[in-house]
Structures are given as structure tokens and as C-alpha cells.
């Protein structure tokens, strides 16, 4: 499937739109939406076409939002697909418009990044629309990417909608690597192993070669904290750039005929990293599991006679914040120190720090990080009003209000969670960097000492409100 991944330049999208779309698009969708898309496509001013990295143009504001109100939020399935494939700058604006209109019609929500490198889609689709999405994928998108577009990679756990809205954004790179693109070749595609092949190779490697495999986790530190493949090297990385640096350090002194194994959530980070290792560093063979941890987890769930090589939970960048692969709890609650694999963001809007927090502490401290300022702001607001929103907008109490965004209700991880803060107050932490909870809260249990120093009793536990992990 991936052998021809980068083999040819794509045809111009505008020609594809005019000649193929009406025939390929699911017949159940209203033709008027497509006609509007075509007319808008032809009306883009040349100046806007040239500005291919604009992500806030008027074009996006003119498009209808995803029609999520037409679909039951409990039926949404989370999935992903990606493809490294060269696209021209004019193609990107047209593709952005097309996806906003067509996916919006299907009630799809999520984040889709497009660039001159290709496409990376992380979306949630109503179950009833999955057949239409599959047709759209196979008959419209796939031909645009030379027939090698990754299949729809369905998650292992779902729940409700995992994204609040539909966004299509143009980026300079699908994932920022910090390198000069001229120093590597993305057409030097690494080996994509099926989950079965991946499992077999890792299981038998030491017996066949007399040594353990070089297995690299290409994700960030907070991802590997709750789940990883046995024997993996898990770099202490904050970003993908850090992961690339760590990968190069790990492999620097290895012989170039040494097989390298690597994995990530869905495969895109490893596809790029593997191409860098093979083209820039001269390694013969880099393996990754096709579809990443997600597809491996789906495969292992179907096996009755095999034990999972992946332990714990697969972190996801959506409202689910993870999908269970095994029952092991590999992390620790930042507040009490108990075993935990549940991530949350502090519900105080100007904090918002990502942290591991067990259901008991989450309930006890109102989804905050338990710092007094955060807890008091949220508690006082929630104690002052039982109604957080009314038809005119959010309720305001002494300048403090609940925050809500389009589509936020009926989402995983937010359906029982209210974000509280003051309008116009910026976040305490850099939004461009994932601040580590330990840097702010200290070791597990440290933050609770603030309460004793202030002469305060800890809030009571509300056992009836505890959510399952």
C-alpha cells in the first residue's frame, strides 16, 4: 500500500474538483453544497491563492460549520488518516474549502492539517455517515493522492464526540521537525508492517539475532508516561523536534544495516522520522507499525491467543485523551500519587495545565490542579450559580464566567466538566509548550501541602460523582 506513497506529483486539484468530484462524491449529499463549493473555488482571487499559508482568511468564515446538530453525539467514531504527498500552494486553498464544505455536510468534526507535504486528518464521524465517508475517501481523496492514501484508521474506544468543531488548517509542515527539508527525502519511505507482522518481528527478534531490538517511541514524554511497547526507548521529549533529536542521538553510532523499529499514535510521526533516518542518516531499514498504536490495539483486541506487547493506554490528542489497550495503570495521579492513566486539563481557564489525575481527586478538586487559586475560583463560581449558561450567553459572577465553545457540549471529557475563568486573562503557561505538571505542582502530594499551610481543610470527596477511569 505504501510502496508508491510518494511516486508521482498529484494533478492540480482544481482540475480534479471540476472533472471528478460530482461523480465521486456520495450521492446522498445535497448537490447545492457542491455547486457552491465549485463556484467559490473559481472565485478565489489570485492574491489569496498565492498566500497559501494563510489560515484565517475570509474563505473559512463563509463556510457552514459541521452539521453536528443533525447527529446523535453518542454515535460518533474517532478515526484518522494521513499521506505524505506533494501538493501545490493553490491546491491547498481549494482543498481546504472542499473539505470544510463536504465534511461539514456529513457532520464530521476534527482537525485536518494540509501542507505542501500532504494531509493529516484526525476526525470524528457519525456512525451512520461512515459508509459515505468511506466512499468519499476511496473515490475522491484516494485518487488525488495517487491511490495510496492511508485507509480510515478507526480508534479502539469512542464514547461521544471527541472534537468540538471542524477545522481545516494550512501548515508549512504537517509536523514540524526543526530540520532543513532539503536534508532529507520523504520519498524514502520506511517499512510499514501490519500489526501481525510487527508483533511477530518484535516477539522473535531476540531469539533470531541474539540481541534486543532497537525500538524507539517517537511520541512526547506525557504520552509514553501512560503507555508504551515493552522494551521501548522512551525519550524525555516535549515536542516532535525533541523526538527527532533524541532519535538521531540514539542511532548515531549504530551500524547502518541495523534494523530500527519505531512507533507513534497513528504512524505519521514515524513515517517522517523513518524517512529522515533512511535518507539523511543512511540506515537500510526502518520499521513502523502501519496505523500506529491505534491499529495495533485494534488488532490485539481481536487476538485470543496473543498477549499485547503494548502496555497501558494510548494517548490521543482529542477529548478522549487516550484509548485503553490494556488495563495496566502506569502513571501516578499528580495530586495523591495513586496509580492513574487519566489525563485532564485544570478547569481554571488561566491555568489549563495538563496533568494525570485520578477520578477521586478530579471529583474532590472540581477538575482543577488543586492549587488554592484555581480551586477557589472554580468553587466560588459553581457555588454562586447552578446555571452556567443562559440564552444570552455565559453567566457572569464578579467578572468570572464559564467558558464554552461551539460544539463543546456532549463531548468526551467535557460533558461533566466546566471551564471557569475571567475573560481576557491569559494562561499562566506558554501555549506553545506543554508545561509539565511537576514543574508547577511538584511531586505527587506536594500541592496539597498548600492547604495545610493556609490552615485549610481539604474539600470533601464526592464519591457519587467519580467517573470511571
Q: DSSP string of 114-178?
A: EETTEEEEEEEEEGGGHHHHHHHIIIIIHHHTTT-PPPPEE-S---SBS-SSEEEEE-S-SS--S
Calpha distance 277→273 (Å, rounded): 6
Q: What is the largest distance, in Å, between two alpha-carbon atoms of the chain?
A: 72
Contacts of 122 by beta carbon, 8 Å cutoff, 6+ apart: 78, 80, 110, 111, 112, 163, 266, 317, 318
As given in the structure block, the three cell numbers for residue 418 are: 466546566
Residue 264 known to be catalytic: yes
Nearest to 165 by CA among 401, 442, 405, 342: 405
Which of the residues 125, 264, 333, 358 is marked catalytic?
Answer: 264
What count of other Cβ atoms lies within 10 Å of the Cβ of residue 325?
24
As given in the structure block, the three cell numbers for residue 386 are: 447552578
Calpha distance 394→458 (Å, rounded): 29
Contacts of 57 by beta carbon, 8 Å cutoff, 6+ apart: 48, 51, 93
Calpha distance 329→18 (Å, rounded): 52
Nearest to 366 by CA among 449, 468, 467: 467
CA 55 to chain centre: 19
DSSP 51: -
Contact 190, 431 (CB under 8 A): no
Q: Strands, E, within 32-117: which ranges? A: 76-84, 109-115
- For cell 481523496, what's the residue? 141
Nearest to 361 by CA among 384, 380, 339: 339
Annotated catalytic sites, by residue?
264
Amino acid at each position: 500500500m505504501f510502496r508508491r506513497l510518494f511516486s508521482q506529483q498529484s494533478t492540480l486539484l482544481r482540475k480534479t474538483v471540476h472533472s471528478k468530484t460530482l461523480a465521486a462524491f456520495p450521492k446522498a449529499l445535497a448537490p447545492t453544497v457542491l455547486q457552491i463549493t465549485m463556484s467559490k473555488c473559481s472565485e478565489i482571487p489570485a492574491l489569496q491563492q498565492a498566500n497559501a499559508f494563510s489560515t484565517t482568511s475570509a474563505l473559512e468564515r463563509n463556510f457552514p460549520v459541521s452539521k453536528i446538530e443533525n447527529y446523535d453525539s453518542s454515535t460518533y467514531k474517532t478515526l484518522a488518516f494521513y499521506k505524505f504527498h506533494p501538493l501545490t500552494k493553490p491546491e491547498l486553498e481549494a482543498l481546504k474549502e472542499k473539505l470544510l464544505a463536504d465534511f461539514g455536510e456529513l457532520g464530521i468534526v476534527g482537525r485536518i492539517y494540509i501542507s505542501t507535504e500532504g494531509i493529516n486528518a484526525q476526525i470524528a464521524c457519525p456512525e451512520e455517515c461512515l459508509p459515505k465517508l468511506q466512499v468519499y475517501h476511496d473515490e475522491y481523496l484516494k485518487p488525488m493522492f495517487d491511490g495510496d492514501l492511508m485507509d480510515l484508521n478507526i480508534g479502539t474506544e469512542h464514547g461521544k464526540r471527541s472534537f468540538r468543531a471542524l477545522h481545516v488548517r494550512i501548515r508549512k509542515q504537517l509536523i514540524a521537525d526543526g530540520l532543513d527539508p532539503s536534508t532529507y527525502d520523504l520519498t524514502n519511505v520506511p517499512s510499514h508492517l501490519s500489526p501481525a507482522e510487527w508483533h511477530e518481528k518484535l516477539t522473535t527478534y531476540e531469539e533470531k539475532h541474539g540481541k534486543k531490538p532497537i525500538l524507539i517511541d517517537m511520541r512526547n514524554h506525557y504520552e509514553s508516561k501512560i503507555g508504551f511497547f515493552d522494551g521501548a526507548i522512551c525519550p524525555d521529549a516535549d515536542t516532535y523536534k525533541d523526538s527527532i533529536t533524541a532519535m538521531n542521538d540514539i542511532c548515531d553510532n549504530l551500524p547502518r544495516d541495523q534494523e530500527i523499529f519505531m512507533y507513534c499514535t497513528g504512524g505519521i510521526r514515524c513515517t517522517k522520522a523513518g524517512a529522515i533516518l533512511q535518507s539523511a542518516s543512511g540506515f537500510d531499514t526502518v520499521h513502523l507499525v502501519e496505523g500506529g498504536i491505534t491499529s495495533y490495539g485494534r488488532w490485539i483486541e481481536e487476538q485470543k491467543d496473543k498477549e499485547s506487547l503494548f502496555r497501558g493506554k494510548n494517548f490521543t490528542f482529542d477529548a478522549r485523551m487516550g484509548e485503553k489497550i490494556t488495563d495496566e495503570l502506569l502513571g501516578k495521579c499528580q495530586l495523591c500519587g495513586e496509580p492513574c492513566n487519566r489525563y485532564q486539563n485544570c478547569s481554571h481557564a488561566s491555568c489549563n495545565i495538563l496533568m494525570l489525575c485520578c477520578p477521586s481527586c478530579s471529583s474532590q478538586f472540581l477538575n482543577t490542579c488543586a492549587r488554592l487559586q484555581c480551586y477557589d475560583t472554580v468553587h466560588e463560581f459553581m457555588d454562586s450559580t447552578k446555571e452556567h449558561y443562559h440564552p444570552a450567553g455565559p453567566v457572569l459572577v464578579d467578572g468570572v464566567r464559564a467558558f464554552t465553545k461551539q460544539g463543546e457540549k456532549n463531548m468526551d471529557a467535557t460533558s461533566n466538566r466546566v471551564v471557569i475563568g475571567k475573560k481576557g486573562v491569559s494562561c499562566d503557561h506558554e501555549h506553545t509548550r506543554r508545561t509539565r505538571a511537576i514543574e508547577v505542582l511538584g511531586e505527587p502530594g506536594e500541592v496539597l501541602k498548600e492547604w495545610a499551610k493556609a490552615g485549610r481543610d481539604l474539600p470533601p470527596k464526592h464519591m457519587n460523582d467519580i467517573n470511571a477511569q
